[in-house]
Chains A and B, each alone.
Chain A
Amino acid sequence: DAKTTQPPSMDCAEGRAANLPCNHSTISGNEYVYWYRQIHSQGPQYIIHGLKNNETNEMASLIITEDRKSSTLILPHATLRDTAVYYCIVNNYGQNFVFGPGTRLSVLP
């Protein structure tokens, strides 16, 4: 079973920030938080990952709470091409990824 829970769906207006939450209350100390997204009929695309510090790259920002029990993926300026299913996964090196149902983000014009 996935170790994370996410809302099944979210809407976001184009150009606005999309904030996708994820709960991972049973995360262990050496597990990372990963975010991937899957656009219809494509393989999952890596977005970002982190351990305990907030992370930012050209795609998104990852905010991890101090107790590490939850995190938020932020897409600062959502576009129509960001419409996808977003998966939050906690994992450690060498282990397979366990995918939950994810959050279906719809970016609306």
Chain B
Amino acid sequence: GAVVSQHPSRVICKSGTSVKIECRSLDFQATTMFWYRQFPKKSLMLMATSNEGSKATYEQGVEKDKFLINHASLTLSTLTVTSAHPEDSSFYICSAEGTGGAGYEQYFGPGTRLTVT
């Protein structure tokens, strides 16, 4: 199946710094990518929808100035956590939308574990 990669897989940063997470579709083009956040023992929560060449659409309660999303190409979307704080520590997962023969499939990256100290 299609592959989505994320980099880095885990990152530790100090409070107040910014962290960039990359999401790449390796063998297909994705006009739409999604960013999720998952806290321990909880389910995935959608943060934003990233569309190539246009502004991202953020879910209610997600600060767009804090979580900057850039989808500059059909294979790359980035999420930048600005001025990170310990409460931003979480597992961040991206997904990319592909097309199958019937319906479509969403392919998920392996996730990035962010720890803010």
A36 CA to B105 CA, complexed, in Å: 10
Q: Which of A21-29, A38-46, A68-76 contacts B (4 or more CB under 8 A)?
A: A38-46
B108 touches A43 (CB 8 A): yes
Whether B108 pairs with A98 at a CB distance below 8 angstroms is no
Q: Are B103 and A44 in contact (CB under 8 A)?
A: no
Most buried by B among A43, A101, A102: A43
Place the interface of chain B in its size category.
20 to 34
Q: Is the CB of B108 within 8 A of A96?
A: no
Contact A93 B91 (CB under 8 A): no
- Which of B34, B44, B45, B110 is the most central at the interface, judged by chain A CB atoms within 10 Å of its CB? B44
Contacts of B111 in A (CB 8 A): 41-43
Q: How far is the CA of A43 from the CA of B45 in the complex (A)?
A: 13
A26–B43 Cα gap in the complex (Å)? 21
Give A1-31 as 1s and 0s: 1 = Cβ < 8 Å from B's Cβ atoms: 0000000000000000000000000000000
Q: Is B32 an interface residue (CB 8 A)?
A: yes
Task: Give every chain A residue within 8 A of B6 (Cβ-Cβ).
Answer: 43
Q: Which residues of A contact B44 (CB under 8 A)?
A: 44, 97, 99
What are the 6 tightest A-B residue pairs by CB atom distance, in nearest-first order? Answer: A43-B108, A32-B103, A99-B44, A99-B43, A44-B108, A43-B111
Residues of A whose CB lies within 8 Å of any CB of B are 32, 34, 36, 41-46, 49, 51, 87, 93-94, 96-102
